[in-house]
Amino acid sequence: MKITVNTLQTMAAEGRKISMLTCYDASFASLLDGAGVDILLIGDSLGMVMQGRDSTLPVTMEQMEYHTRCVAQGSKNAMVLGDMPFGSYQESPAQAFANAARLMQAGAHMVKIEGGAFMAETVRFLVQRGVPVCAHIGLTPQFVNTFGGYKVQGKSESDAERIMADARALADAGASMVLMECVPAVLAKKITEAISVPTIGIGAGLDVSGQVLVLYDVLGVYPGKKARFVKDFMAEAQSIQGAVSAYVAAVKAQTFPAPEHCF
């Protein structure tokens, strides 16, 4: 069954967990699709895991467009979610639409943008023009230089209130999903209960609508430092297909993330 925005909304309303993994090529897209992954995210994480960069900032629109086209070719049922890279949407809503249109024409069904309430106008502009949006809040990797590193967000009361306000503003602007990265599980639960669209967590606890991880982390092949929220599903699997299927099953059964993966 083809996964659509309506499918995700229904899954969240019924308490059926959504599984998402990053994906960058047609072969893995086919494998992940066959294993039942609901959403394939062409993440700008490719800058780190594929290109060996120390951040996502150098990734270009041309690269995102290329990898989105590859993933779309290999996917049949999963939703294809394309990341908007650094510098491709921050200038103006019109700039964001022009670049989002490129990803949609390459095969994306939705685009993801980073940033809080200040991006609400851009989200509304895109949605009104036929571009579904996944908002990304909490730890937003494109802001790594502002944050001073990859740190948990929302630990203080004021920071938690700001992130909650971000989630509300973006959902009210028409975002179809809100992805929360590296926020305390208690905060992620409150946000999930407060907004009417599905929430996706990465390092955000169990009480969200679904989970996402970087594919290379799931397979235990990324040589960089492992984040607390990562689990190597390949360690106990007999094949890549088995590792991906185990991840999907763990998300659906709510056995991942475990307490040791949460903040």
Q: Name the fold adopted by 5-261.
A: TIM Barrel (3.20.20)
Of the candidates 75, 50, 46, the residue with the CA atom closest to the CA atom of residue 61: 46
Quick one: pLDDT at residue 43? Answer: 98
Band of the pLDDT at 223, cuts 50, 70, 90? confident
Residue 147, pLDDT > 90, answer no
Known binding positions for 3-methyl-2-oxobutanoate: 44-45, 83, 112
Residue 222, pLDDT > 90, answer no
Identify the active-site residue in 181, 193, 236, 260. 181
Identity of the residue numbered 4 = T
Known binding positions: 44-45, 83, 112, 114
Band of the pLDDT at 224, cuts 50, 70, 90? confident
pTM over 0.95: yes
* Per-residue pLDDT tens digits for 84-104: 999 999 999 999 999 999 999
Q: Domain boundaries in the chain?
A: 5-261
For tokens 């895991």, what's the residue?
49
Least confident of 19-23, 118-122, 141-145, 179-183: 141-145
Band of the pLDDT at 146, cuts 50, 70, 90? confident
* Per-residue pLDDT tens digits for 2-36: 999 999 999 999 999 999 999 999 999 999 999 99
Known binding positions for Mg(2+): 44, 83, 114
Q: Specify whether 161 is catalytic.
A: no
* Per-residue pLDDT tens digits for 31-48: 999 999 999 999 999 999
